[in-house]
Amino acid sequence: MTISETGLSGWAPAKVNLYLHVGPPKSNGRHDLDSLVVFADGRAADHLQAEPADTISLEVSGPRAAEAGTLEDNLVLKAARALQAASGTRQGARLTLQKWLPVAAGIGGGSSDAATALRLLTKLWDIDPAHAAAIAPRLGGDVPVALSGQPALMRGEGERVTPVPSLPPLDALLVNPGVPCPTGPVFRAHDEAGGGAGFAEIHPLPEFQDAKAVAAWLHEQRNDLEAPAIAMVPEIAEALTFLRAQPGVLLARMSGSGATCLALFEAIAFAERAMVVLRNDAARKHWWTAACRLGRAP
């Protein structure tokens, strides 16, 4: 978080699911989850600024602004209005979102934007952070873990967040093949295939000495939504094939409900090399790529 004379600003980083186990659908139509979540640094993030104002307003700019939908549907605006109502404050805010992350991409961009809005406005309005914590689950399953901003286990419907402070930082490349992969249809395909049988939370989580140990353990885990997402968006398989063939790669899998894929590397130089290869590939230069370090939110 940055403080200036005109207000506050902060990064809203990509959320990455290192593994994602999904239970069967419940009576409310939602699912129990078990996932280890980390966040990108500023190289894979949106940016939000909050300035004092009489009313709440939002302006969206940046290369992905057109994909962000209407303002009334934007989670930043919904988070600000919900926090204002819950806290009883009459203060407003002029919010400016620079949208860099792809939308419907399995990296929780909208949820991260909303969580950053909650953090900034809690500080700007000088209100109890408990209001933000209470609102977060109602805004979406990824918002509570994004509000924590640290490596964590995300469980239940996303509302149970357990920090994992000892997780070592991870050098990574995030790749999205430029094809939307909406969450709802992916979950429905998972359910129709009978997914979720034998679901159980991992306990205890092992201690990891370094990134190689993390990657070795993750090979024993999975993303339960990867197969149904690939069936809907075959480009995900193409991205994974590319990533798994790169020098220095430790692990490659899909994040969240897709279509963004992640690859963990032995060092950031390997991730940057793979990013350059993609950006110089005429057939794939439209893919979104970001070499970054995964861990705490910036």
Q: Residues annotated as binding site for ATP?
A: 102-112
Task: Write down the residue that tokens 């990824």 correspond to.
Answer: 142
Annotated binding site: 102-112
Question: Longest Cα pair distance anywhere in the chain, in angstroms?
Answer: 55
Catalytic residue among 15, 32, 171, 224: 15
Structure tokens given for 224: 């339960």
Q: Is residue 15 among the annotated active site residues?
A: yes
Catalytic residue selected from 41, 142, 171, 224? 142
Radius of gyration of the chain (CA): 19
Catalytic residue list contains 191: no
Start-to-end CA span in the chain (Å) = 8
The per-residue DSSP string of 35-102 comes to: EEEEEE-TTSEEEEEEEEESSEEEEEESTTGGGG--GGG-HHHHHHHHHHHHHT---EEEEEEE--SP
Q: In what helix (H) or strand (E) does residue 13 lie, and over which residues does it extend?
A: strand 8-13
- 81 Cβ contact partners less than 8 Å away, ≥ 6 residues apart: 56
C-beta separation of 154 from 33 below 8 A = yes
Q: Are 249 and 243 in contact (CB under 8 A)?
A: yes
Active site positions, annotated: 15, 142
